[in-house]
Structure 1
C-alpha cells in the first residue's frame, strides 16, 4: 500500500543517534540527535547519512493536510523535539506506539492512527516554514511536469519558463540547489535511462537507441556521451551488470554500485 500510495504520505523521522545532511529544493540542513525531520514524499530530497538510529512514522497526507496549512513548505524542515513540549509529546506517543504495535488489535488501529495524526498536526502547526507554501507548490508542480515530459527533446528552460509564465531568473532559482534547470533535466533523463537499461520489463532489455529517444535525447551518440560522463561507462556496457538482476555475468564495480542504489 505504501509503494502504491507513497506520494500521498509524509515521513517523519526522529533521530536518536547519528547525523545526516538533508538537501531539499530550498537548501541544505544538517540533522542529528534529538532532531525531527519531515519529508513530503511528493517532493524530491537527498539524504547523506552515517549509520543512524531513528524512529520513523509514515502518515497519510489526507489525515493532516487540512490541519497544517503550510505542510508542503515543511519538506526537509528539522526541529528539536527534545526541547519543544508538543514535539516531545508527539515523539513519546510514537515511541510507545512502536513498542506496543505488535500487541494492538486490528479494530484499535484506525482510532490510534487518527490520534497520532491529530498529535502530529498539533506539532507541525507550530513549525516555521523555510519557504512560502505557494513557492513550494510551484516547485512541486514544475518537477512533476518535468517528469511527465522527460521523453520530449523540446523540454528545456525556455519551454518551462513559457509554460509556467516565469522569467528565466525565477525558474533558475527554483533549481539553484541542483545546479540549474538544465542540469536537473539532464540528471533526471540519465537516471531514467539507467533504470530502463538495468531493470528490463516483460519484453526484455530495450535497445540503446530506444532508451535514448525515450529519455529525451535527439540521437544515440549524444546520449552515449552524456551517459558515460555521468556514470563512467557506456549504455551498452550495462548489460554486463545483470548479476544484480539474477543473471550470471559479473558487473564492473562502478556499475554494481549504481544497480544496488537503484534496487534500493
Structure 2
C-alpha cells in the first residue's frame, strides 16, 4: 500500500504541495494558494496485482488529465469511482456534470477530463486495465464521464456496497484474500455495466494509446513499418495519430531520449551506463548521433547529467504508483 497522511505536516503550503505531488502520476492538480488543507486528508493506493483500489479524502481543488500527460504515460485503464461525501463536477468533451454523494462515475484514463472538487469530500475507486473488462458490450471508453446513481440497477447498488466493504477488508486481508477480492471486484465491474452503442467511443484515442505502448516496449528497434504491420495501418492514418507530436519518428526519438535521460539520471553514483551502450539500447545508430540529439533536447551532453537532474522530481511513492499501473 502507498499511503499519504498529512497530520504531521504543520505548514499548510507544505501540505498542499505534498498532496499535489501524491496525485502527480494520475492528475495535474491546481488549487488556490491560500486554500486550507485539513490535516485529516489522506490518499491510499492498494496494489491488488490485477487492479488497484484507491481511497481519498480531499479538499477544494481542480484535478486534470491533459493530452500531454496521457500521451506520455500510455496507460490504458478504467476508473470506477464512488463519491462517499461532498460533491464535485466533472468535465469531459465539453460536457460538465455534477457528482453527488453515493454516485458512481466512470473515467477512462486514456481520455482527457477535469474534476472540480469545490468542497472536497471522500471517494473510493477501482482502477482496472481495460483488457479485463471483457464482459462490457462495446468499449468502456463510451462510458467516460458517465454518472450512475447506485440505485440504477441492483448490480450497481451491489457494486457501490462492494467498494465500501472492500475498503474495510483490505486493511487486514492476507495476500491470497487480496487476490480473490481483486477477482471478485473485476467480475462485479463486468457484471454491473452493459455498454450501449455510443458515438462517444474514442477509437482513435484507444488506438493511439496502444501504438504508443508498442513504441515504449520496443524502443530500440521500432519504426513506422513495424507499427503499420502490427496494427494494420497505412502510412496516412499512422502519421495522423502523431500530428500533434511532430510526426511518428519525432515521437519515437523523443521517447528514446526520455528513456536515456531516465537511465542516466536514476543511475547510482559511479554506475552510470556507458554512452555508446546507452545510444545503442535507445535505438540510435551511433554515439555521435545520440549525443547531438540529446543535447538538442535537453541543452546538455549525456555526460553532463548528474543526480540533481531528475526526470520525476516528486515523491518516490508516486513513481511507484505509476509502476504499479503499468504492471496490472
| Shorter-chain TM-score range | 0.5 to 0.7
Gaps of 5+ in 2: 2-44, 75-90, 320-328
Structure 1 position 260 matched with structure 2 position 327:
no
Greater share of residues in strand: 2
Contact 1:77–1:129 (Cα < 8 Å) also in 2: no
Q: Following superposition of structure 1 onto structure 2, how do residues 161-176 of structure 1 map, counting pairs within 5 Å?
A: 161=228, 164-176=231-243
Change (3 A) 1:132 1:190: same
Contact 1:171–1:181 (Cα < 8 Å) also in 2: yes
Contact 1:193–1:215 (Cα < 8 Å) also in 2: yes
Counterpart Cα distance in 2 of 1:15 and 1:76 = 24
Gaps of 5+ in 1: 242-250
Structure 1 position 95 matched with structure 2 position 164:
yes
Match of 2:279 in 1: 212
Q: Following superposition of structure 1 onto structure 2, how do residues 1-264 of structure 1 map, counting pairs within 5 Å?
A: 9=51, 18-22=61-65, 23=67, 24=70, 29=92, 34=99, 36-38=105-107, 54-59=123-128, 64-71=132-139, 74=141, 77-82=144-149, 85-86=152-153, 90-99=159-168, 101-102=170-171, 112-126=181-195, 128=198, 130-131=200-201, 139=208, 142-152=211-221, 155-161=222-228, 164-176=231-243, 178-200=245-267, 204-238=271-305, 240-241=306-307, 251=308, 255-256=309-310, 258-260=311-313, 263=316, 264=319
- TM-score, structure 1 normalization: 0.62
Contact 1:9–1:58 (Cα < 8 Å) also in 2: yes
Q: CA deviation at 1:171?
A: 0.7
- Say which SS state the counterpart of residue 191 (structure 1) adopts: helix
Counterpart Cα distance in 2 of 1:78 and 1:221 = 47
Counterpart Cα distance in 1 of 2:292 and 2:210 = 30
Greater share of residues in helix: 1
- Aligned pairs, number: 240
Say which structure, 1 or 2, has more relative contact order (CA 8 Å, 6+ apart).
Answer: 2
Change (3 A) 1:207 1:185: same
Contact 2:92–2:113 (Cα < 8 Å) also in 1: no
Contact 1:15–1:36 (Cα < 8 Å) also in 2: no
Query: What does the per-residue CA deviation read over 1:135-189, in whole Å, with 9 as the maximum and x for residues that have no partner?
Result: 677545533442343113xx43355335654222211233345453223212221
